[in-house]
Amino acid sequence: MVPSDQRLEDLLAELRPSVLGALVRRHGQFDGCEDAVQEALVAAAAQWPAEGVPDNPRAWLLTVAGRRLTDHWRSDHARRTREVTVAGMAPADASVAPAVDEDERVSADDDTLMLLFLCCHPALTPSSQVALTLRAVGGLTTEEIAQAFLVPQASMTRRISRAKQQIKDAGMTFRMPPEEERAERTRAVLHVLYLIFNEGYAATAGPDLLRPDLTGEAIRLTRQAHRLLPENGEVEGLLALMLLTEARRAARTLADGALVPIAEQDRSRWDAELAEEGLALVVEALARPGVGPYRLQAAIAAVHVDTPDGGETDWPQILALYDLLEQVAPSSVVRLNRAVALGMVKGPREGLRLLEPLEQDRWMAGSHRLSAVRAYLLERDGDLDGALEAYRTAAGQAASGPERRFLAEQVERLAADSAG
């Protein structure tokens, strides 16, 4: 069967991590295997539209990539042989490749999961985990990743190279981690996917609020993780959270890029299909044993999405979920969001009281989000002068163009109200 361009692109994107994982598992050379897989993908993109997709496309890619890898080794070995011959020395070793692991019982899913675990190894920094996951598992080019995170391509190249070198230097095994380590490694994978999605949901800097390329890639990778770990409630919860958030994307900004708060969004522009899928996943995730931060965040997102058009948001339920989330996974961001919910349920002064400890929090110091929440609660409490000053502070702190513009608009609005 001859695939359409989009179907072929989707198929190759789906196969890429399992093929790379299998090759790395067999040969243990990250860089060389990555280059060989890329060459195999290019060959498939050229041949399959004309010849049709093979009966076993993964085996086809593995065969071609394996041959390319062997060709590279032979070429490199021949070069080294010529060099030592010129130097009048006998070659030290005539082998051209390490022994091949013949265990074909390892599934494509296991190879994909192994690669995810490897890219998100706790020995790597979070920024390196994100970059390596997008490069090795997602298949994004270094240039694309650099553009996504607004850093020079040379800097991103060095970051990815350092991550690969750390893997090599640390002697990290190209195998599935033992069972007792998998829960921790899964948490690392979910954290990386969460970071990728968050950067796409609300870019930390730059002219655009949204990066659909990053949110789309995060959802695609999380769908893969859900397929690989179907019984894991936190994977299910993270996917639900992403889908429920992504469902609102079209309504989050106006045509000129201006930010629209959730209470003012046109719900007819929400993606009903994504919202329905996300809500169903929340129900499934919460029915599983235990509780975790992604399930709770998904439940909070579900309350917002499930509010009838024009109806009142169930803030008491949201506050109860944030209370539980702060027990399960306390953080400055959770406390900040809980302050909003508390202010909506028990009054703005209660929310402001909850913000006081965050003033000394090193993670929140200088954060435009802390200043913006304070401004919002002060305005609800009737302190317009205090709210105006807080909005001015937030606008000066924001690095994202749309967020800075939104906050500046609040300053203008309040200043006009005060003058009137």
Task: Give 26-78 pLDDT, tens digit per residue.
Answer: 887 888 898 999 999 999 999 999 899 999 999 999 999 999 998 886 765 44
11: containing domain: 5-86
Q: How many CB atoms within 10 Å of residue 155?
A: 12
- Residue 360 maps to a domain: yes
- Cβ count near 129 (within 10 Å): 22
Three-state DSSP class for residue 259: strand
Q: Is 302 within a domain?
A: no
For 242, the token pair is 């992403």
> Is residue 193 domain-shared with residue 337, that is, in the same domain?
no
Per residue in 195-228, pLDDT tens?
899 888 876 666 667 778 889 989 999 999 999 8
Report the CATH number at residue 370.
1.25.40.10
Please check whether residue 91 lies inside any domain of the structure.
no
Question: Do 20 and 118 form a contact (C-beta atoms < 8 A)?
Answer: no
CA neighbours within 13 Å on the CB side: how many for 359?
Answer: 8
- Looking at the fold, whether 417 and 329 belong to one and the same domain comes out as yes
pLDDT of residue 85: 42
Has residue 405 been placed in a domain? yes
Residue 420 lies in a domain: yes
Is residue 225 domain-shared with residue 121, that is, in the same domain? yes
Give the pLDDT band (50/70/90) at residue 367: confident
Give the total residue count for the chain.
420
pLDDT number for residue 7: 87
Q: Tens digits of per-residue pLDDT, 309-347?
A: 656 889 999 999 999 999 999 999 999 999 999 999 999
Predicted pLDDT of residue 205: 64
23 and 134 part of one domain:
no
Last residue of a domain, one of 20, 53, 86: 86
Q: How far is residue 115's CA from residue 94's CA, in Å, rounded to a whole number?
A: 30
Same domain (yes/no): 137, 224: yes
Residue 38 lies in a domain: yes
Q: Are residues 153 and 283 in the same domain?
A: yes
Q: Which of 44, 71, 86 is the last residue of a domain?
A: 86
pLDDT by residue (tens digit) across 116-167?
Answer: 988 888 888 888 999 999 898 888 888 888 877 778 999 999 999 999 888 8
320 and 415 share a domain? yes
Give per-residue burial for 203-220: e unless 16+ CB within 10 Å, then b. beeeeebbbeebbebbbe
Cα–Cα distances in Å, from 153 out to 134, 190, 204?
A: 14, 26, 18
Report if residue 300 sits inside a domain: no
Looking at the structure, tell me whether residues 80 and 118 fall in a common domain.
no
Same domain, 236 and 350: no
- Do both 276 and 372 map to the same domain? no
Query: What pTM was computed for the model?
Result: 0.83
Whether 382 is covered by a domain: the verdict is yes
- Number of folded domains that form the chain: 3
147 and 189, same domain (yes or no)? yes
Are 149 and 235 in the same domain?
Answer: yes
